[in-house]
A and B are shown apart, each in its own frame.
Chain A
Amino acid sequence: MATTMITTLDRSSRAAARGLSDISIRNLFIIPTVLFLIVFNIFPLIYSLGYSFTDFRASTNAPANFVGLQNYRDLLNDPYVWSNFAITAKYVIVSVVGQLLVGFGVAMLLNRDIPLKGLITTLLLLPMMLSMAVVGLFWKLLYDPSWGVINYALGLGNFEWLADPKMALYAVALTDIWMWSPFVMLLSLAGLSAVPKHLYEAAAIDRAGPFYTFFRITLPLVAPILMIAVIFRTMEAFKTFDLAYILTSQPTAELISIRLYKMAFQEWQTGRSCAMAYIVLIMVLAITNIYVKYLNKVKER
């Protein structure tokens, strides 16, 4: 089985001359990866599941006591945690929808013959190549009510983007949209250029309007790749930490990952934060599964 899965080794190659078989080469590549995964991913994952049923605190020498489902019960009864989830959901929706609209829109604009298309596309990709922390720090300056460029350019006076409890979350989402729309744009562009040209020609011959062409040809054919963008961006947005942590400390913008960080590394409630991490993990898994099911459905069409 294993030998049929991989290309057989060329007998005259250097590897073959050294007496390495196909299987040993395969093992050489795969075993370190599997070991790495087990040591750094699987083992901590299972170990922390154990901790989530205890009152363990990493900052003390006190032994961990088994408390059963107490941590989960407390967390799911904590109104602050629920509000963190609600904030996160709002953030995910706003930022992913925003990125989708902007990213796909820009991709539509770029999907034609224009001069310097390559250069424009490359320049548009710059935001997503920056580090999240750096983006957070300079957007904090851009948003500043006293000397920020944004208020100056929009003539908003002293509008407090980050200090206003109602605005703070949207300000973070806006930064995220600026940063990650290029990612959606890139995927959409790949999808758009793969749409066969003859379909558009056929539509033109049939005198189909631009809306009809868009909704009946372009969108359905790009949908699978857009779904992939949505899955990636949803997972990432759900996990957002650095950007929000740097930009604002408003409780109305406290995402679940920030709460988790505080619980784990400021309060050192190790057991409880493990339980929280599991709750988040289950939620992300559930959401991703729904998407994947939907993606498969879209592909079947």
Chain B
Amino acid sequence: MRKLVTSVLAGIGLTLACGTSVYAQEKSLTIFWAEWDPANYLQELGNEYEKETGVKITVETTPWSDFQTKAFTEFNAHGDAYDLVVGDSQWLGAGSTGGHYVDLTDFFKKHDLGNVMAPATVKYYAEYPGNSGKYWAIPLEGDAVGWSYRKDWFEDPKEKEAFKAKYGYDLDVPKDFKALRDIAEFFHRPDQKRYGIAIYTDNSYDAMAMGFENALFSYGGELGDYTTYKVDGHINSDKAVAALDAYKELYKFTPPGWAKSFFVEDNQAITENLAAMSMNFFAFFPSLINEASNPNAKNTGFFANPPGPNGDQFAALGGQGISVISYSKKQDEAMKFLEWFIKDETQKKWAALGGYTCSQAVLKSPEFQNATPYNKAFYETMFKVKDFWAVPEYAELLQQLNQRIYPYMIGGSGTAKETLDALAGDWNATFKKYGRVQ
């Protein structure tokens, strides 16, 4: 018995010793991100870094649905499994005030990143609290919500003629939200198994919020005042009510069963010939111009979120910055990687691999804008984006938004005004709970 115990212990000891010695020999960094194409591009970029410096970069991923949960579980446990994280823009508040992110303000100032990166990306991916001059992340993957559409359906002469006869203007890429609605209605033909439009409706994380924000911001509405946290009169303003009605109107023209849809379903709407237009993050467009993943690749076009009735044009922001995790034991190595990452050549490589760079120089270059059918729309969008609340309690605010808007959008209960009044009440109560308003 004693022999057995000794040998088992010795075995465990040996395994541990081997494991740690291998670990110590190699220089390596682990970056945590969600499971999607850009993470693969980042891994390729990391391989380049390894060639240059010998430091091994591993991009670890998890599906989007539990990315937030898994990341914060690790942060809360003060774990050092990851050295860097490409965190969602809404996490800045929780990441910085919770002490999970390393303060990158000095790094930011030293490299003048405020001017190197596009202003919106600095504001939403890096700075917290707003206008404080404190930075917690380096903008890595720029992203916003845009639209894809079926060029072949839009350019069909018969369709063009029928559309003009019905609506009195030419069928083209929608010039405003009204045209978006008309075109959706025009192509909505359930008897032919063709539908007008694919939008975000999933209420489990931020899908519904992102979709609604596209309408809200272009209608000139706001979520609230980001400095005073006043929401009453903003989120339930007339403009916001009109925006919610416009977004709900679009739901009428979606394919059947469109009640839990996010980026996967919205790309399927194009690849499976379901819808004429589809809302999605730019990050998911590369697979739409790839013939291997989209049989309609040649016939897929892209456009930026259209303006609302008053000419305001904005889009909901996605995208992430990269932060150093304060529990990492390799923070110096991580900073070296960031220094390499922000170089112009690296940013060019990043864009060439398929990453959405936030570097102004690269974004403005004609070679970037002409590289793909959607890069120009992306460039235009990235200078007029707005984001959700980034306070540490953003998840509660999201949940309240889902809780109020989903039953109205999908279940048709109540009115837009009642819905948003109730949401304003919920948000105000939450801000009160955290001492942001009196």
> Chain B residues with Cβ under 8 A from A265's Cβ?
69, 72-73
Docked pose: A269 CA to B395 CA in angstroms: 10
- One of B8-16, B146-154, B399-407 contacting the partner: B399-407
Q: Determine whether B317 belongs to the interface, using a CB cutoff of 8 Å to chain A.
A: no
- Contact A80 B403, CB 8 Å, known A59-B392, A266-B205, A267-B393: yes
Of A58, A252, A267, which is within 8 A of B395 by CB? Answer: A267
Docked pose: A125 CA to B206 CA in angstroms: 39
Of A59, A146, A165, which is within 8 A of B407 by CB? Answer: A165
Shortest Cβ gap from A106 to chain B (Å): 31
B410 touches A250 (CB 8 A): yes
Q: Determine whether A226 belongs to the interface, using a CB cutoff of 8 Å to chain B.
A: no
Interface string of A181-221 (1 = CB under 8 A from B): 00000000000000000000000000000000000000000
Interface string of A49-76 (1 = CB under 8 A from B): 0000000011111000000000000000
Within 8 A of A (CB), among B6-33: none
| Chain B residue at smallest Cβ distance from A261 | B69
> Chain A residues with Cβ under 8 A from B372's Cβ?
none
Q: Determine whether A299 belongs to the interface, using a CB cutoff of 8 Å to chain B.
A: no
B393 touches A160 (CB 8 A): no
- One of B136-144, B214-222, B255-263, B381-389 contacting the partner: B255-263
- Contact A163 B98, CB 8 Å, known A251-B406, A267-B395, A267-B399: no
| Chain B residue at smallest Cβ distance from A158 | B256
| Chain A residue at smallest Cβ distance from B411 | A165
A266 touches B256 (CB 8 A): no
B393 touches A162 (CB 8 A): no
Docked pose: A103 CA to B72 CA in angstroms: 42
Q: Determine whether A99 belongs to the interface, using a CB cutoff of 8 Å to chain B.
A: no
Docked pose: A80 CA to B193 CA in angstroms: 37
Of A146, A161, A266, which is within 8 A of B68 by CB? Answer: A266
- Bin the interface of chain A by size: 20 to 34
B395 touches A61 (CB 8 A): no
Docked pose: A18 CA to B97 CA in angstroms: 59
Docked pose: A146 CA to B274 CA in angstroms: 9
Of A144, A158, A269, which is within 8 A of B396 by CB? Answer: A269
> Chain B residues with Cβ under 8 A from A144's Cβ?
257
| Chain B residue at smallest Cβ distance from A160 | B257
B395 touches A266 (CB 8 A): yes
A61 touches B399 (CB 8 A): no
Docked pose: A248 CA to B75 CA in angstroms: 29
> Chain B residues with Cβ under 8 A from A250's Cβ?
259-260, 410-411
Q: Determine whether B190 belongs to the interface, using a CB cutoff of 8 Å to chain A.
A: yes
A146 touches B255 (CB 8 A): yes
| Chain A residue at smallest Cβ distance from B274 | A146
| Chain A residue at smallest Cβ distance from B100 | A59
A160 touches B411 (CB 8 A): no
Docked pose: A59 CA to B410 CA in angstroms: 32
- Contact A162 B257, CB 8 Å, known A59-B392, A80-B403: yes
- Contact A266 B203, CB 8 Å, known A59-B75, A158-B190, A251-B411: no
Q: Which of A144, A145, A250 is the most central at the interface, judged by chain B CB atoms within 10 Å of its CB?
A: A250
Q: Determine whether A289 belongs to the interface, using a CB cutoff of 8 Å to chain B.
A: no
Q: Determine whether A178 belongs to the interface, using a CB cutoff of 8 Å to chain B.
A: no
> Chain B residues with Cβ under 8 A from A145's Cβ?
256-257
Q: Determine whether A262 belongs to the interface, using a CB cutoff of 8 Å to chain B.
A: yes
> Chain B residues with Cβ under 8 A from A252's Cβ?
411
> Chain B residues with Cβ under 8 A from A291's Cβ?
none
Of B72, B76, B205, B410, which is within 8 A of A163 by CB? Answer: B410
Q: Determine whether A278 belongs to the interface, using a CB cutoff of 8 Å to chain B.
A: no
- Contact A268 B260, CB 8 Å, known A80-B403, A163-B410: no
Q: Determine whether A249 belongs to the interface, using a CB cutoff of 8 Å to chain B.
A: yes
Docked pose: A123 CA to B205 CA in angstroms: 39
Of A58, A146, A251, which is within 8 A of B256 by CB? Answer: A146
> Chain B residues with Cβ under 8 A from A58's Cβ?
72, 76
> Chain B residues with Cβ under 8 A from A267's Cβ?
393, 395-396, 399
> Chain B residues with Cβ under 8 A from A59's Cβ?
72, 75-76, 94, 98, 392
B395 touches A268 (CB 8 A): yes
Docked pose: A249 CA to B396 CA in angstroms: 17
A18 touches B255 (CB 8 A): no
Docked pose: A162 CA to B257 CA in angstroms: 7
| Chain B residue at smallest Cβ distance from A144 | B257
A251 touches B97 (CB 8 A): no
Docked pose: A263 CA to B274 CA in angstroms: 35
Q: Determine whether B185 belongs to the interface, using a CB cutoff of 8 Å to chain A.
A: no
Q: Determine whether B204 belongs to the interface, using a CB cutoff of 8 Å to chain A.
A: yes
Shortest Cβ gap from B164 to chain A (Å): 30
> Chain A residues with Cβ under 8 A from B68's Cβ?
266
Docked pose: A161 CA to B407 CA in angstroms: 16
> Chain B residues with Cβ under 8 A from A163's Cβ?
256-260, 410
Docked pose: A61 CA to B76 CA in angstroms: 9
| Chain B residue at smallest Cβ distance from A163 | B259
> Chain A residues with Cβ under 8 A from B258's Cβ?
163
> Chain A residues with Cβ under 8 A from B99's Cβ?
61
A248 touches B274 (CB 8 A): no
- Contact A248 B260, CB 8 Å, known A60-B97, A163-B410, A165-B411: yes
Within 8 A of A (CB), among B201-247: 202-205
Within 8 A of A (CB), among B246-294: 255-260, 272, 274
Q: Determine whether B165 belongs to the interface, using a CB cutoff of 8 Å to chain A.
A: no
Docked pose: A266 CA to B255 CA in angstroms: 29
- Pull 12 A–B residue pairs with CB atoms less than 8 Å apart, ordered by A: A59-B76, A59-B392, A146-B193, A146-B256, A160-B257, A160-B259, A250-B259, A251-B203, A251-B406, A262-B399, A266-B399, A268-B72
- 9 cross-chain pairs, A with B, having the tightest CB-CB distances, nearest first: A163-B259, A145-B256, A145-B257, A158-B256, A165-B411, A267-B395, A58-B76, A60-B98, A249-B260
Interface contacts beyond A145-B257, A163-B259: sample of 14 additional A-B pairs, CB < 8 Å, sorted by A: A59-B72, A59-B76, A61-B98, A144-B257, A145-B256, A160-B256, A162-B260, A163-B258, A163-B410, A165-B411, A249-B406, A251-B406, A266-B69, A266-B398
